[in-house]
Amino acid sequence: MEFENILLEQVETGIYQLTVNRPRSFNALNSATLDEIYAAGEQIANTPDARVLLVTGAGEKAFVAGADISEMQNKSAIEGQVFSQKGMRAFRRLETLDIPVIAVVNGYCLGGGCELAMSCDWIIASERAQFGQPEVSLGVTPGFGGSQRLTRLIGRAKAMEMLVTGQQIKADQALTWGLVNHVHAAEELMEKALETARQIIQKGPIAVRLVKQAVQRGQDMDLDNACVLESEVFGLCFSTDDQKEGMGAFLEKRKADFQAR
């Protein structure tokens, strides 16, 4: 599929990269870009050799600086809701991919950009990254899941502070608060992301998919039912060639040779 506002490419075997590619507007998210993000998620979901997806923004100044205000300004209430639903649908498509999705944040990660990053499984950031949900400064609330995912990631009190003040936090504070997993020098950021992706693709591909499923489904269950789910997923692993190869390699003191799926 041809895209105008994003890039979707295979960077190494098993590793794909989605880049929001509107650097002149700091990668602002308009309707067309949101549609393309959704389509890219669908494409990755139907790419058998995809094992990891990296999500980033073009240029050095911004991951995504927010939604496109020039497009939003004159929307009616119904049109605003439709725009919100479009973003929700796009980000949820990435969030529910059965492979790990890592946000690689370079520069401003604000509003819709922060919401995009939070829909990934985790975030790594450059030391120059800045995060925020500044929508109240524009007279609106977050519209692409920010009020919900931010609260789940960093807790109610810190999320409320960010959401109602519109304050931006730097990468080191985002790390302390648990919004990001790692902070790296800007010039090392993508290579560090690739190092992590390379680690992942050395593991059992079915197990990686199943553990993501267990985490996503289990987090909304009570502990007893979540542990039942884990037992079911664990048992299912024993029907796979990955389990035979992984345990056999361990006992034979050799590196496992998992087959890509």
Choose, from 9, 95, 135, 245, the residue flagged as catalytic.
135
Compute the distance between CA of residue 95 and CA of residue 43 in angstroms, rounded to an integer: 14
Q: Which of 183, 65, 170, 177 is nearest to 124 (CA)?
A: 183
Compute the distance between CA of residue 196 and CA of residue 198 in angstroms, rounded to an integer: 5
Active site includes 95? Answer: no
Compute the distance between CA of residue 14 and CA of residue 131 in angstroms, rounded to an integer: 29
DSSP conformation class of 220: T
Active site includes 115? Answer: yes
Compute the distance between CA of residue 11 and CA of residue 205 in angstroms, rounded to an integer: 18
Report CA torsion sign: 188, 206, 119, 65. positive
Between CA 247 and CA 18, with CA 50 as vertex, the angle to 5 degrees is 140
Choose, from 2, 12, 95, 115, the residue flagged as catalytic.
115
The catalytic site residues sit at 115, 135
